[in-house]
Structure 1
């Protein structure tokens, strides 16, 4: 197949890389040998060197093994960003276990489903979340509950105190053995467990590193890690990538903009893998307090589309250039990224990363390849593509066909091989026979100076089939009449794309990583 994007790979970054068939833990151990005395983790005023972190991992791995955790068992981690997260993650992997990533915001019914679906044997949980877990644990296979506390002695601390380290001898088949079960959030229905093998995660960590090879300073990066590690983006683009490069993972458990700004001022991070809501909040705060962002040299954005207006404003105040990318749980997650240096196209998700192919196929059958500029479904092939969905053979077969991952995202590719997401297949609005892509309208609305956040949905309409509705959060309440915003859109969009209804709200419903929940918006605002 033609790969027009290859001519835009920055000189010094590879087109293809070698991917070793090794366990993910071996990648981490290599960094421990290279960067033993470098700071690996910063958590407020506490730091761990690579040597110290590895020492903790070995003790917890030994303790888990003594508690009966063995190869093939599932260990669930239900924690915010904190040092106990990477310690638990790598310790369980050293036992040959599979990590089950748990969102700490889960309610008891969501937790019950995931623990049962994954057949979890051990749960590592923040003490404040224990009541939610305890309400359903007797209905699950969990036999070990290990608590983590920031204020008092916990079960986890006892694991760290076990000086009798006896590690299990575990053989890992990197291409077959599942390292992580990444549940897909359930934003579009029943949550699915994407099975990510050791090979998938090693591949995506090395692929991600290769896209920034010319700018990465090995052993010196300080990575502001607010994106939650339980989310696939934080896991790979923050934790695994930082550890590969011998960097300092600056862990922040919750996004509170004032506190985050203080952490930026104290730690002077060089890299920031963020999500749109974080960039928007930092920009808003900057208007009242002009803090210094010149320490940042590499900024990336993922998880959801980043409005062009936000990219432009953040680049102005930081002096760097936010490189938007793309990924999904089923791809470990990264598949595309704007080059960190060289040609970047705003509004684009960039070009496929090394060892990755992508193309656009027709929406109806998924079998016809489409040409430059045509909108269809984005499909992807590469070593980072999941093994499949746990316990869902039919879902797996419809999502992975002949090695191609069908993403469900509508996209187009330009002549340079840059890709553009225009919406989800399920979110496309069909108004008067025209295809309307919410992201295009949202970009226009975001360009209005009074708008903080926006989401566009289609609602039933007797005459048009569907009509366009915008749900908007203003920077200042009552600062913009609805009709003025509609007129603003009318001047910038074709008539059939202009929202016929604007609803102002105080906030938009979001996932833990900041992705706007369109399904929830449709439930709340699907009428005129």
Structure 2
């Protein structure tokens, strides 16, 4: 309970929530980011409007009808909302939007800002094990749109090497979160708890009680000013030709073309490469030349080892997990035997 109260206090502080706010809650309450919409509202005495939507258009209509001041969503939903027409004047009451659960494509962010110019975007990063970790202030979005920001109030975020020593600026390392938001562990799962909850780096020896921190498993880097940049989740990194490829980097190139509605880059077992990069795309418009155009763009912008081996076009939206994120594991499972007979 202390974690929930501390998280609500920190988030409501940087979002500047107030009793007059009307926060639209469209994410599952089983998702910590979704539950945060309620706890944040409760913390300041604001109104939380619960919604179980069927179509993305319904969300936009609810924002207008309910005079919503704050809206939180995950990247797949933001991509859909950015492709819709928004009512004129919605930014007269929609004070802010927030994103977590994955990186928002820069082209999607630009489209959202064009549709609601006075609405402030907060780009955030969070861990289920520690509520929320970082946020990028709206005033920094133009300067560093690909940054995940700095630590939220009452948290300390470190970037460390495998031995726990601090990384130099620009050096990739593991994100470690310490502070009041860190939970005690996983319920009835001591093995998983020991894997993620370890002593916080840099503690003096001889302390009677060791402070535990969350070792995220995510690879990030920090610049000279302390702003953080997401590289990839360790369990989602694609290992191809001896390189590690972040799916997000490949997907960013694809979203920037504005040729697709959704895209996911996954690693598929390959007899020569170890894993091959495979793109799965979905687009409203059925254009057989889209895959060819996307491949040309990848070859133009990406190094050879990051260029997809294949592009798979689907006739329906990509599968989601219970939190509304694209289900990469399911997609990878469906494509697991793709290169067994024909690796070329």
Task: State TM-score, norm by structure 2.
Answer: 0.88
2:111 equivalent to 1:308: no
Q: Which runs of 5+ in 1 are unaligned?
A: 1-197
Q: How far 1:291 sits from its partner (Å)? A: 5.2
Contact 2:76-2:326 within 8 A present in 1 as well: no
Q: Encode CA deviations 1:9-61: one digit per residue, 9 max, x unaligned.
A: xxxxxxxxxxxxxxxxxxxxxxxxxxxxxxxxxxxxxxxxxxxxxxxxxxxxx
Q: Within 1, Cα distance between the matches of 2:13 and 2:4?
A: 14
Q: Aligned partners of 1:521 and 1:393: how far apart in 2? A: 30
Partner of 1:420: 229
- Please say if 1:369 is aligned against 2:166: yes
Matched, 1:523 2:320: no
Distance 1:253 1:340, change over 3 A: same
1:422–1:438 contact (8 Å) kept in structure 2: no
Q: CA deviation at 1:339?
A: 1.4
Kept after mapping to 2: 8 A contact 1:366/1:377: no
> What does residue range 103-252 of structure 1 map to in structure 2 within 5 Å?
198-213=1-16, 216=17, 218-236=18-36, 238-252=37-51
Query: Which runs of structure 2 are paired with 1:111-510 in the superposition (5 Å)?
Result: 198-213=1-16, 216=17, 218-236=18-36, 238-286=37-85, 292-294=89-91, 295-319=93-117, 320-331=119-130, 333-341=131-139, 345-362=144-161, 365-402=162-199, 403-478=212-287, 480-505=289-314, 506-510=316-320
TM-score of the superposed pair, with normalisation by structure 1: 0.58
Is the partner of 1:391 in helix, strand or coil?
A: coil
Instruction: Find the residue that maps to 2:84 and give its secondary structure.
Output: helix
The whole-number CA distance in structure 2 between the counterparts of 1:274 and 1:430 is: 30
Gaps of 5+ in 2: 200-211, 340-344
**Shift in Å at residue 231 of structure 1?**
1.4
Cα deviation, 1:57-81, whole Å, max 9, x if unaligned, reads xxxxxxxxxxxxxxxxxxxxxxxxx
Match of 1:121 in 2: none
Cα distance in 1 for partners of 2:334, 2:163 equals 32
Structure of higher CA gyration radius: 1
> How far is the alpha carbon of 1:321 from its aligned partner?
3.3
SS in structure 2 of the partner of residue 254 of structure 1? coil
Q: May I ask how many residue pairs the two structures share in their alignment?
A: 322
> CA-to-partner distance for each residue in 1:343-396, whole Å, 9 max, x for gaps?
66212221101121112223xx35343221122221111111111111122221
Q: Deviations over 1:95-137 (max 9, x none)?
A: xxxxxxxxxxxxxxxxxxxxxxxxxxxxxxxxxxxxxxxxxxx
Aligned equivalent of 1:171: none
Give the conservation status (yes or no) of the 8 Å contact 2:74–2:102: yes
| Residue 512 of structure 1: how far off its partner (Å) | 2.9
**Contact 1:274–1:301 at 8 Å: present in 2 too?**
yes
Give the superposition deviation at 1:451: 0.9
Deviation (angstroms), 1:413: 1.4
- 1:448 Cα deviation (Å)? 1.2
- CA apart distance, 1:481: 3.5
Alpha-carbon distance, 1:401 to partner: 0.9
For 2:140 and 2:263, the matched residues in 1 are separated by: 30
Judging changes above 3 Å, is the alpha-carbon distance between structure 1 residues 421 and 255 closer, same or farther for their aligned structure 2 residues? farther
